[in-house]
Amino acid sequence: MSPEDFRLESYDYPLPPELVAQEPTNERDASRLLALDRSTGAVAHRRFSELPELLRPGDLLVTNRSRVFPARLLGRRARGGKAEILLVRPLGDGLWEAMLRPGRRLRAGMVVEIAPDFRVRIETNPIRAQRLAGPGPATEPAGAENVLRTVRLVSDDLALEDALERHGHAPLPPYIRRDDRPSDRERYQTVYAREPGSIAAPTAGLHFTPELLARLAVRGIERAELVLHVGPGTFRPVEVEDVRDHRVDPERYVIPVETAAAVERAHAQDRRVIAVGTTATRALETATAADGRVRTGEGETALVIVPGYHFHAVSALVTNFHLPASSLLLLACAFAGREPLLRAYQEAVRERYRFYSYGDAMLIA
Protein backbone atom coordinates (compact mmCIF):
# COMPACT_ATOMS: atom_id res chain seq x y z
CA MET A 1 0.00 0.00 0.00
CA SER A 2 1.09 3.60 -0.62
CA PRO A 3 0.01 6.80 1.16
CA GLU A 4 -2.00 7.72 -1.96
CA ASP A 5 -4.23 4.69 -1.37
CA PHE A 6 -5.62 6.35 1.75
CA ARG A 7 -6.07 9.89 0.42
CA LEU A 8 -9.56 10.81 -0.66
CA GLU A 9 -8.27 12.90 -3.55
CA SER A 10 -6.82 9.72 -5.08
CA TYR A 11 -10.34 8.48 -5.84
CA ASP A 12 -11.52 11.28 -8.08
CA TYR A 13 -11.84 10.80 -11.82
CA PRO A 14 -13.23 12.92 -14.68
CA LEU A 15 -16.56 11.82 -16.14
CA PRO A 16 -18.37 13.58 -18.98
CA PRO A 17 -21.91 14.23 -17.72
CA GLU A 18 -23.46 12.67 -20.82
CA LEU A 19 -22.10 9.28 -19.71
CA VAL A 20 -24.34 9.24 -16.63
CA ALA A 21 -27.14 6.87 -17.70
CA GLN A 22 -30.57 8.45 -17.50
CA GLU A 23 -32.47 5.42 -18.79
CA PRO A 24 -32.02 1.66 -18.52
CA THR A 25 -31.17 -0.39 -21.58
CA ASN A 26 -34.11 -1.81 -23.52
CA GLU A 27 -33.12 -5.30 -22.37
CA ARG A 28 -31.54 -5.79 -18.96
CA ASP A 29 -28.71 -8.03 -20.14
CA ALA A 30 -27.95 -5.86 -23.20
CA SER A 31 -25.78 -3.59 -21.06
CA ARG A 32 -22.05 -3.65 -21.64
CA LEU A 33 -19.70 -5.52 -19.34
CA LEU A 34 -16.10 -4.53 -18.73
CA ALA A 35 -14.18 -7.59 -17.52
CA LEU A 36 -11.15 -6.70 -15.39
CA ASP A 37 -8.54 -9.34 -14.59
CA ARG A 38 -7.29 -8.22 -11.22
CA SER A 39 -4.16 -10.36 -11.45
CA THR A 40 -2.93 -8.64 -14.64
CA GLY A 41 -5.02 -5.47 -14.92
CA ALA A 42 -6.13 -6.52 -18.42
CA VAL A 43 -9.61 -5.48 -19.54
CA ALA A 44 -11.99 -6.98 -22.07
CA HIS A 45 -15.15 -5.45 -23.48
CA ARG A 46 -18.16 -7.76 -23.49
CA ARG A 47 -21.94 -7.77 -23.09
CA PHE A 48 -23.64 -8.74 -19.84
CA SER A 49 -25.47 -11.50 -21.70
CA GLU A 50 -22.04 -13.16 -22.12
CA LEU A 51 -21.59 -13.55 -18.36
CA PRO A 52 -22.16 -17.35 -18.36
CA GLU A 53 -19.21 -17.81 -20.73
CA LEU A 54 -17.00 -15.63 -18.51
CA LEU A 55 -17.68 -17.64 -15.36
CA ARG A 56 -16.59 -21.17 -14.47
CA PRO A 57 -18.76 -24.18 -13.72
CA GLY A 58 -18.83 -24.47 -9.95
CA ASP A 59 -18.70 -20.72 -9.32
CA LEU A 60 -21.12 -19.51 -6.64
CA LEU A 61 -23.01 -16.29 -7.36
CA VAL A 62 -24.40 -14.54 -4.28
CA THR A 63 -27.22 -12.06 -4.97
CA ASN A 64 -29.11 -9.60 -2.79
CA ARG A 65 -32.85 -10.20 -2.93
CA SER A 66 -33.81 -7.01 -1.08
CA ARG A 67 -36.63 -5.16 -2.80
CA VAL A 68 -36.82 -1.40 -3.29
CA PHE A 69 -40.04 0.02 -1.90
CA PRO A 70 -41.67 3.27 -3.12
CA ALA A 71 -39.95 5.29 -0.43
CA ARG A 72 -40.24 8.75 -1.98
CA LEU A 73 -43.36 10.75 -1.12
CA LEU A 74 -44.24 14.04 -2.82
CA GLY A 75 -46.75 16.39 -1.20
CA ARG A 76 -47.65 19.87 -0.11
CA ARG A 77 -47.54 21.73 3.16
CA ALA A 78 -50.59 23.44 4.62
CA ARG A 79 -49.62 26.75 2.99
CA GLY A 80 -49.14 25.14 -0.38
CA GLY A 81 -45.39 24.76 -0.56
CA LYS A 82 -43.94 21.56 -2.00
CA ALA A 83 -42.41 18.99 0.31
CA GLU A 84 -40.59 15.73 -0.23
CA ILE A 85 -40.14 12.86 2.17
CA LEU A 86 -37.77 9.93 1.75
CA LEU A 87 -38.69 7.12 4.11
CA VAL A 88 -35.54 5.51 5.48
CA ARG A 89 -36.31 3.12 8.32
CA PRO A 90 -39.56 1.83 9.85
CA LEU A 91 -39.90 2.37 13.60
CA GLY A 92 -43.25 0.61 14.04
CA ASP A 93 -46.85 1.79 14.52
CA GLY A 94 -46.74 4.01 11.41
CA LEU A 95 -43.58 5.81 12.53
CA TRP A 96 -40.60 6.14 10.21
CA GLU A 97 -37.21 7.74 10.23
CA ALA A 98 -37.21 9.92 7.15
CA MET A 99 -35.38 12.65 5.27
CA LEU A 100 -37.31 15.80 4.50
CA ARG A 101 -36.93 18.62 2.02
CA PRO A 102 -37.01 21.57 2.50
CA GLY A 103 -35.74 20.26 5.81
CA ARG A 104 -35.39 23.55 7.66
CA ARG A 105 -38.94 24.69 6.84
CA LEU A 106 -40.67 21.55 7.99
CA ARG A 107 -41.13 21.58 11.74
CA ALA A 108 -42.61 19.19 14.28
CA GLY A 109 -46.41 19.24 14.18
CA MET A 110 -46.66 20.13 10.50
CA VAL A 111 -48.61 17.90 8.13
CA VAL A 112 -47.70 17.17 4.52
CA GLU A 113 -50.60 16.02 2.35
CA ILE A 114 -49.56 13.31 -0.10
CA ALA A 115 -53.10 12.56 -1.32
CA PRO A 116 -56.58 13.45 -0.01
CA ASP A 117 -56.59 10.24 2.05
CA PHE A 118 -52.87 9.96 2.81
CA ARG A 119 -50.64 12.34 4.78
CA VAL A 120 -47.45 12.56 6.77
CA ARG A 121 -47.24 14.22 10.18
CA ILE A 122 -43.82 15.42 11.28
CA GLU A 123 -43.20 14.20 14.80
CA THR A 124 -39.75 15.60 15.61
CA ASN A 125 -37.47 18.44 14.68
CA PRO A 126 -34.15 17.57 13.00
CA ILE A 127 -32.29 14.56 14.38
CA ARG A 128 -29.19 15.27 12.33
CA ALA A 129 -28.29 16.61 8.92
CA GLN A 130 -26.70 14.26 6.44
CA ARG A 131 -25.42 14.79 2.94
CA LEU A 132 -26.14 12.08 0.41
CA ALA A 133 -24.92 11.19 -3.05
CA GLY A 134 -27.63 8.61 -3.61
CA PRO A 135 -31.42 8.50 -3.38
CA GLY A 136 -33.06 11.89 -3.55
CA PRO A 137 -35.13 14.13 -5.76
CA ALA A 138 -34.22 14.34 -9.41
CA THR A 139 -34.76 18.09 -9.25
CA GLU A 140 -32.02 18.76 -6.71
CA PRO A 141 -28.27 18.30 -6.98
CA ALA A 142 -26.52 15.21 -5.66
CA GLY A 143 -25.20 15.86 -2.18
CA ALA A 144 -27.92 18.35 -1.21
CA GLU A 145 -28.60 18.35 2.50
CA ASN A 146 -31.14 15.95 3.91
CA VAL A 147 -32.51 16.30 7.43
CA LEU A 148 -33.44 13.18 9.37
CA ARG A 149 -36.71 13.28 11.31
CA THR A 150 -39.32 10.97 12.77
CA VAL A 151 -42.61 11.11 10.86
CA ARG A 152 -45.94 9.33 11.13
CA LEU A 153 -47.84 8.03 8.11
CA VAL A 154 -51.61 8.43 8.30
CA SER A 155 -53.95 6.74 5.83
CA ASP A 156 -57.73 7.10 6.07
CA ASP A 157 -58.85 4.26 3.80
CA LEU A 158 -55.93 2.00 2.95
CA ALA A 159 -53.43 0.00 4.92
CA LEU A 160 -50.17 1.93 5.09
CA GLU A 161 -48.39 -0.58 2.86
CA ASP A 162 -51.11 -0.20 0.24
CA ALA A 163 -51.04 3.60 0.53
CA LEU A 164 -47.30 3.58 -0.10
CA GLU A 165 -47.74 1.35 -3.13
CA ARG A 166 -50.40 3.67 -4.54
CA HIS A 167 -48.84 7.06 -3.77
CA GLY A 168 -45.12 6.45 -3.34
CA HIS A 169 -42.48 6.99 -6.00
CA ALA A 170 -39.40 5.00 -6.96
CA PRO A 171 -36.45 6.59 -5.10
CA LEU A 172 -34.29 7.24 -8.16
CA PRO A 173 -30.90 8.78 -7.36
CA PRO A 174 -30.49 12.52 -8.02
CA TYR A 175 -28.04 12.07 -10.88
CA ILE A 176 -30.96 10.69 -12.90
CA ARG A 177 -32.25 14.09 -13.99
CA ARG A 178 -35.87 13.25 -14.64
CA ASP A 179 -39.01 12.39 -12.76
CA ASP A 180 -39.65 8.75 -12.07
CA ARG A 181 -42.09 6.90 -14.30
CA PRO A 182 -44.30 3.86 -13.67
CA SER A 183 -41.79 1.73 -15.60
CA ASP A 184 -39.13 2.53 -12.99
CA ARG A 185 -41.12 0.52 -10.45
CA GLU A 186 -40.06 -2.58 -12.39
CA ARG A 187 -36.73 -1.57 -13.96
CA TYR A 188 -35.24 -0.08 -10.77
CA GLN A 189 -35.65 -3.51 -9.22
CA THR A 190 -33.87 -6.83 -9.71
CA VAL A 191 -35.87 -9.69 -11.18
CA TYR A 192 -35.21 -11.73 -8.03
CA ALA A 193 -36.14 -8.99 -5.53
CA ARG A 194 -38.40 -10.39 -2.80
CA GLU A 195 -38.18 -8.64 0.57
CA PRO A 196 -39.06 -4.91 0.69
CA GLY A 197 -36.74 -2.66 2.64
CA SER A 198 -34.24 -0.86 0.38
CA ILE A 199 -34.31 2.82 -0.54
CA ALA A 200 -32.02 2.15 -3.51
CA ALA A 201 -31.57 -0.82 -5.80
CA PRO A 202 -28.58 -3.15 -5.49
CA THR A 203 -27.78 -2.04 -9.02
CA ALA A 204 -25.29 -4.74 -10.03
CA GLY A 205 -28.25 -7.11 -10.07
CA LEU A 206 -30.33 -5.01 -12.47
CA HIS A 207 -28.64 -6.67 -15.47
CA PHE A 208 -29.90 -10.18 -14.77
CA THR A 209 -32.92 -11.68 -16.53
CA PRO A 210 -34.71 -14.96 -15.75
CA GLU A 211 -33.30 -16.36 -18.99
CA LEU A 212 -29.74 -15.38 -18.07
CA LEU A 213 -30.12 -16.93 -14.62
CA ALA A 214 -31.32 -20.12 -16.29
CA ARG A 215 -28.29 -20.15 -18.62
CA LEU A 216 -25.98 -19.70 -15.64
CA ALA A 217 -27.59 -22.67 -13.91
CA VAL A 218 -27.24 -24.85 -17.03
CA ARG A 219 -23.54 -23.97 -17.12
CA GLY A 220 -23.17 -25.30 -13.58
CA ILE A 221 -22.98 -21.97 -11.79
CA GLU A 222 -24.62 -22.09 -8.39
CA ARG A 223 -26.60 -19.19 -6.93
CA ALA A 224 -27.38 -18.29 -3.32
CA GLU A 225 -29.25 -15.31 -1.91
CA LEU A 226 -28.97 -12.97 1.04
CA VAL A 227 -30.70 -9.78 2.07
CA LEU A 228 -29.13 -6.40 2.73
CA HIS A 229 -31.56 -3.49 2.88
CA VAL A 230 -29.83 -0.49 1.33
CA GLY A 231 -30.07 2.58 3.55
CA PRO A 232 -28.77 6.14 3.33
CA GLY A 233 -25.42 5.25 4.88
CA THR A 234 -24.33 3.61 1.63
CA PHE A 235 -24.59 6.99 -0.08
CA ARG A 236 -22.97 9.20 2.51
CA PRO A 237 -20.14 11.03 0.72
CA VAL A 238 -16.64 10.44 1.99
CA GLU A 239 -15.67 13.74 3.60
CA VAL A 240 -12.50 12.77 5.46
CA GLU A 241 -9.01 13.18 4.06
CA ASP A 242 -7.96 9.70 5.18
CA VAL A 243 -10.48 7.22 3.76
CA ARG A 244 -9.82 4.84 6.65
CA ASP A 245 -11.67 7.31 8.90
CA HIS A 246 -14.93 7.15 6.92
CA ARG A 247 -18.00 5.82 8.75
CA VAL A 248 -21.45 4.75 7.56
CA ASP A 249 -24.76 4.13 9.31
CA PRO A 250 -25.63 0.47 9.93
CA GLU A 251 -27.72 -1.45 7.42
CA ARG A 252 -29.77 -4.55 8.16
CA TYR A 253 -28.86 -7.86 6.57
CA VAL A 254 -29.88 -11.53 6.71
CA ILE A 255 -27.70 -14.52 5.83
CA PRO A 256 -29.88 -17.63 5.32
CA VAL A 257 -28.56 -20.95 6.60
CA GLU A 258 -28.47 -22.39 3.09
CA THR A 259 -26.43 -19.43 1.82
CA ALA A 260 -23.87 -19.76 4.61
CA ALA A 261 -23.58 -23.47 3.83
CA ALA A 262 -23.12 -22.79 0.11
CA VAL A 263 -20.36 -20.24 0.77
CA GLU A 264 -18.54 -22.53 3.20
CA ARG A 265 -18.86 -25.43 0.76
CA ALA A 266 -17.44 -23.32 -2.08
CA HIS A 267 -14.51 -22.25 0.08
CA ALA A 268 -13.80 -25.84 1.12
CA GLN A 269 -13.83 -26.97 -2.53
CA ASP A 270 -11.71 -24.04 -3.71
CA ARG A 271 -14.51 -22.65 -5.85
CA ARG A 272 -15.02 -18.94 -6.41
CA VAL A 273 -17.60 -16.94 -4.48
CA ILE A 274 -18.79 -14.13 -6.73
CA ALA A 275 -20.68 -11.32 -5.02
CA VAL A 276 -23.24 -9.52 -7.14
CA GLY A 277 -22.80 -5.97 -5.94
CA THR A 278 -21.20 -4.10 -3.09
CA THR A 279 -24.19 -4.86 -0.86
CA ALA A 280 -23.73 -8.61 -1.13
CA THR A 281 -20.00 -8.09 -0.61
CA ARG A 282 -20.43 -6.13 2.61
CA ALA A 283 -22.95 -8.58 4.03
CA LEU A 284 -20.75 -11.58 3.25
CA GLU A 285 -17.58 -9.94 4.55
CA THR A 286 -19.37 -8.91 7.75
CA ALA A 287 -20.67 -12.40 8.38
CA THR A 288 -17.54 -14.36 7.39
CA ALA A 289 -14.78 -15.02 9.91
CA ALA A 290 -11.10 -15.27 9.03
CA ASP A 291 -11.37 -19.08 9.10
CA GLY A 292 -14.14 -18.99 6.46
CA ARG A 293 -17.06 -19.77 8.73
CA VAL A 294 -20.20 -17.78 7.93
CA ARG A 295 -22.59 -16.57 10.63
CA THR A 296 -26.26 -17.02 9.80
CA GLY A 297 -29.30 -14.97 10.71
CA GLU A 298 -30.01 -11.26 11.03
CA GLY A 299 -27.53 -8.54 11.81
CA GLU A 300 -26.42 -5.01 11.04
CA THR A 301 -23.32 -3.96 9.19
CA ALA A 302 -21.46 -0.68 9.23
CA LEU A 303 -18.47 -2.20 7.47
CA VAL A 304 -16.44 0.24 5.39
CA ILE A 305 -14.10 -1.53 2.97
CA VAL A 306 -11.10 0.49 1.79
CA PRO A 307 -7.76 -0.47 0.24
CA GLY A 308 -5.78 -2.62 2.64
CA TYR A 309 -8.83 -4.68 3.61
CA HIS A 310 -8.35 -8.45 3.49
CA PHE A 311 -11.30 -10.23 1.89
CA HIS A 312 -12.38 -13.45 3.63
CA ALA A 313 -15.50 -14.36 1.65
CA VAL A 314 -15.49 -12.90 -1.84
CA SER A 315 -13.17 -13.95 -4.67
CA ALA A 316 -14.83 -12.14 -7.61
CA LEU A 317 -17.22 -9.22 -7.96
CA VAL A 318 -19.96 -8.09 -10.33
CA THR A 319 -20.54 -4.39 -9.88
CA ASN A 320 -21.62 -1.19 -11.61
CA PHE A 321 -19.50 1.93 -12.09
CA HIS A 322 -19.50 4.14 -9.00
CA LEU A 323 -19.38 7.83 -8.13
CA PRO A 324 -15.96 9.43 -7.63
CA ALA A 325 -14.69 9.49 -4.04
CA SER A 326 -17.57 7.29 -2.84
CA SER A 327 -17.46 4.41 -0.36
CA LEU A 328 -18.60 2.09 -3.17
CA LEU A 329 -15.65 3.10 -5.33
CA LEU A 330 -13.35 2.56 -2.34
CA LEU A 331 -14.67 -0.99 -2.00
CA ALA A 332 -14.10 -1.74 -5.68
CA CYS A 333 -10.57 -0.33 -5.43
CA ALA A 334 -9.91 -2.41 -2.33
CA PHE A 335 -10.87 -5.51 -4.31
CA ALA A 336 -9.15 -4.77 -7.62
CA GLY A 337 -6.39 -2.37 -6.57
CA ARG A 338 -6.76 1.39 -6.85
CA GLU A 339 -4.58 1.94 -9.91
CA PRO A 340 -5.91 -1.00 -11.99
CA LEU A 341 -9.48 -0.09 -11.14
CA LEU A 342 -9.10 3.58 -12.03
CA ARG A 343 -7.27 2.67 -15.25
CA ALA A 344 -10.25 0.46 -16.12
CA TYR A 345 -12.55 3.42 -15.41
CA GLN A 346 -10.47 5.58 -17.76
CA GLU A 347 -10.85 2.90 -20.42
CA ALA A 348 -14.61 2.81 -19.79
CA VAL A 349 -14.81 6.57 -20.28
CA ARG A 350 -12.83 6.36 -23.53
CA GLU A 351 -15.12 3.58 -24.73
CA ARG A 352 -18.23 5.57 -23.77
CA TYR A 353 -19.61 3.16 -21.20
CA ARG A 354 -22.74 4.25 -19.34
CA PHE A 355 -22.20 5.01 -15.66
CA TYR A 356 -24.03 4.61 -12.33
CA SER A 357 -27.35 3.02 -11.42
CA TYR A 358 -28.85 2.50 -14.89
CA GLY A 359 -25.43 2.15 -16.49
CA ASP A 360 -23.15 -0.68 -17.53
CA ALA A 361 -21.37 -3.25 -15.37
CA MET A 362 -17.97 -4.67 -14.47
CA LEU A 363 -16.79 -8.17 -13.70
CA ILE A 364 -13.68 -8.10 -11.49
CA ALA A 365 -12.15 -11.56 -11.22
Band of residue 201 on the pLDDT scale cut at 50, 70, 90: very high
Band of residue 135 on the pLDDT scale cut at 50, 70, 90: low
Cis bond before residue 102 (omega within 30° of 0)? yes
Does residue 132 have a pLDDT over 60? no
**CATH topology for the 3-68+185-364 domain:** QueA-like (3.40.1780)
Across 165-186, average pLDDT: 95
The Cα angle at residue 77 between residues 89 and 109, in degrees rounded to 5: 65
Enter the pTM of the model.
0.91
For residue 128, the model assigns a pLDDT of 54
For residue 270, the model assigns a pLDDT of 97
Does residue 138 have a pLDDT over 50? no
Sorted by where each begins, the domain ranges of the chain are 3-68+185-364, 72-167
Does residue 235 have a pLDDT over 90? no
For residue 147, the model assigns a pLDDT of 66
For residue 127, the model assigns a pLDDT of 62
Contacts of residues 283-290 at CB distance under 8 Å and 24 or more positions apart, as own/partner, are 283/64, 283/226, 283/227, 283/228, 283/253, 283/255, 284/62, 284/226, 284/255, 284/313, 284/314, 285/309, 285/311, 285/312, 285/313, 285/314, 286/253, 287/253, 287/255, 287/260, 287/313, 288/263, 288/312, 288/313
Tell me the pLDDT tens digit for each residue of 37-47. Answer: 999 999 999 99
Contact 218, 258 (CB under 8 A): no
For residue 142, the model assigns a pLDDT of 37
Tell me the pLDDT tens digit for each residue of 55-106. Answer: 999 999 999 999 999 999 999 998 889 999 999 999 999 999 999 988 778 8
Considering the domain 72-167, what is its CATH architecture?
Answer: Beta Barrel (2.40)
Q: What is the DSSP string of 157-226?
A: SS-HHHHHHHH-B----TTS-S---TTHHHHSS-TT--EEEESS--GGGGG--HHHHHHHHHTT-EEEEE
Does residue 133 have a pLDDT over 60? no
Band of residue 125 on the pLDDT scale cut at 50, 70, 90: confident
Across 227-238, average pLDDT: 87
For residue 287, the model assigns a pLDDT of 98
Mean per-residue pLDDT over the chain, rounded: 93
In the chain, what percentage of residues exceed pLDDT 90?
87
Q: How far is Cα 318 from Cα 205, in angstroms, rounded to an integer?
A: 8
